[in-house]
Each structure stands twice: as structure tokens, then as C-alpha cells.
Amino acid sequence: MTEMERRHYELVKLVRERARGYFRTAVRYTADDWSVIYRRGDLPDERPQRRSNAIVEKIREREPLREPDSPFGEFESVVELYEGGVFIVIRESPSAGVVLSLERGAAESLASFVVECERTVAPET
């Protein structure tokens, strides 16, 4: 298992422990590839590849709201809340990251949860 695979394994483990049944999927992406690293077993099988691909394409096109030299510093993650769910994008580099999909109930105490996810996939220094 590579270091990156170990960090993704740890992230999935963390999200499963913390979000329990609210955790739907985790998709790892790079500039030219993506793969599902977790998918809850009870999700319908209809078109998951097409949906994941469309989400990853939109994430790759997304520009941060602030410039890197802003007082806020570097972009790290984004959370999108929807009526029926939550997407969290944890950025690992300018061209790679992980997209987490959760049920809306996972939005409680979301800020501390996102920080913990970021720390889990961050390279050790």
C-alpha cells in the first residue's frame, strides 16, 4: 500500500466512524483520473460511474474564491450543502483531492469534521 493509499484508507475509516450511516461515497481524483474509494452498499447501482465522472469534472473546473496570496492563505476544502446531501471536497494538491458525499444529517458540527478530514489526508511533514 502506497502512502497515498494509506492516507485515503485512513480518511475513509475516519468518515465511516464519524458519519456512520450518513456516509455515501468517497471519490479520489487527479488531473486525469478518478476512482471510487468507498461506496455505501445500499446505494442504487444506476449510473454511479457517470454521476461520479460529472462531479469530478465540475470540481476540476472550479476556481477558489480567493487568490493564494490572500490573507486567508491556500485553498484547502469546500463544503456544499444541499437539501438532500452534503459534498465535501478535500484538496490534496492543485490537481488532486477527495470528494466525500454524505447525507444531510452529517452537517451537524461540520467545520470540525472537515478539519479532521483535511489532517487525515495531509502529507506528514
The three-point CA angle 4-20-1 to 5° equals 20
- Domain holding 40, by residue range, is 3-121
Q: How confident is the model at residue 125 (pLDDT cuts 50, 70, 90)?
A: low
User: Domain holding 52: CATH number?
Assistant: 3.30.450.190
In the chain, the number of structural domains is: 1
Does residue 16 contact residue 59 with C-beta atoms inside 8 Å?
no
Give me the chain's average pLDDT, please. Answer: 88
Q: Residues 101, 107, 113, 115: what is their CA dihedral angle, to the nearest 10 degrees?
A: 80
- Residue 7: the pLDDT is 94
pLDDT digits (tens, 9 = 90+) for 17-39: 989 899 999 999 999 999 999 99
Q: What percent of the chain has pLDDT over 70?
A: 98
Mean pLDDT, residues 64-86 taken together:
85
Mean pLDDT, residues 5-27 taken together:
94
